[in-house]
Each structure stands twice: as C-alpha cells, then as structure tokens.
Amino acid sequence: MVGRYGAWATPAFTAAKARESYGDNNSISHPIVDKQAARPTSRVTSLYQTLAQHGAQFGLHSGWEVPHWFATSDAEIGHEPSYFRSNSFGPTKRECDAVMERVGLTDLSSFATFQVHGPSARAFLELMCANSVPKVGASIRICHLCTPHGKVLGELTVSALTDESFYVVTGAGSELHDLR
C-alpha cells in the first residue's frame, strides 16, 4: 500500500486505472476530469443511490464517490471538459445560490473521523494544534497541525465531547496523512 492509497485501491482498481491512464497518455489534459475506470468504487455511502437518483454527478476522492454537482437536465449529465466554464458551472452556481439564500445539506460521510480520549487528550491536542482546543459545549473549532517552524501539515475540525474526549474530523484525502 502506497501512503496515499488505502485498502480500497485493490489490484483490480489499480489495473483498470493504469490501463485508463496509459490509454490517455497522449490526450489533452483538462482540469477537473474524473476518469471513470473502476467506478464506482466500493467506498460509497448509504446515500449514494439516493443522491444518484437526484442527479448527483460523482467524483473520486480518496476512493470515495462524492457528489460534485447535481444535474437537472440531460445537458448537465457527465463532465464536459473545458478550459473555461464546463457544464458543471450552472448546476454548481445554482447550488451555491441555494445555500447562500436558503439552506443546504452536505453528506460528510466520506470525511475521516477520529476520537481522541483519555486523561491527557486535551494536552495532546493543545500540543499538536496551533489553535486552542474548544471547551465542552463550546463551538466546533478548526485547528491546524503545524511544524515547529509554522508550516501547516494538516487541518482538523475539533469538538470537545467531554473534558477527556474529543471528536476530530479531517478530509478523506488526509486520513492516512493526519494519523502519522
């Protein structure tokens, strides 16, 4: 297992991706293109089918199938590569407007979560994080993992469940990195 890939990167997945990449070797590269070989992966949430039925167009993030945008017409289904505004621009704008003007709901199942607990849990997190760790009942806090020279190594969202127990959330792509 390579450091950035987990058990989800099976030999079959790797072989399919290698064939796909080799076949595209001399093709023009466009931004934000999600290759479709070996998709969907085994890492789907319990909401995957429901989101797909509502037009979700999925992308791959650390093996997880996550919605990038929701298509409401046939023209918005699938990604049309572009160096300007692709066909995902309209649906993404609609979603941003809806969240800004009304409300939105996001499935964060693909995010990595950890529990840090024990009598020294707070002291450990205070040592590791550049920001102060929240108190019980306080707001959730974004905390950065930094080197002694201030280089940011990672970003965590920390919640205090009790004085000795903390719920830590990080991105799916950072899970293996942030555990080190």
The CATH superfamily assigned to 11-101 is Probable tRNA modification gtpase trme; domain 1 (3.30.1360.120)
Q: Which residue type does 80 have?
A: E
DSSP bridge pairs for 174: none
Higher pLDDT, residue 173 or 16: 16
Q: Please report which confidence band the pLDDT of residue 3 belongs to, taking 50, 70 and 90 as the band edges.
A: low
Domain boundaries along the sequence of the chain:
11-101, 112-179
Q: What is the CA radius of gyration of the chain?
A: 20
pLDDT of residue 133: 93
At the topology level, CATH places domain 112-179 in: Alpha-Beta Plaits (3.30.70)
38-91 pLDDT tens trace: 888 888 999 999 999 999 999 988 889 999 999 998 888 888 888 888 889 999
Do residues 164 and 119 make contact, with C-beta atoms less than 8 angstroms apart? yes
Is pTM beyond 0.95? Reply is: no
| Residue 76: CB atoms within 10 Å | 21
Peptide bond into 134 cis (omega under 30): no
pLDDT tier at 1 (50, 70, 90 boundaries)? Answer: very low
Q: What is the mean pLDDT of the chain?
A: 88
pLDDT score, position 44: 92
Q: Token pair of 41, please?
A: 């992966």
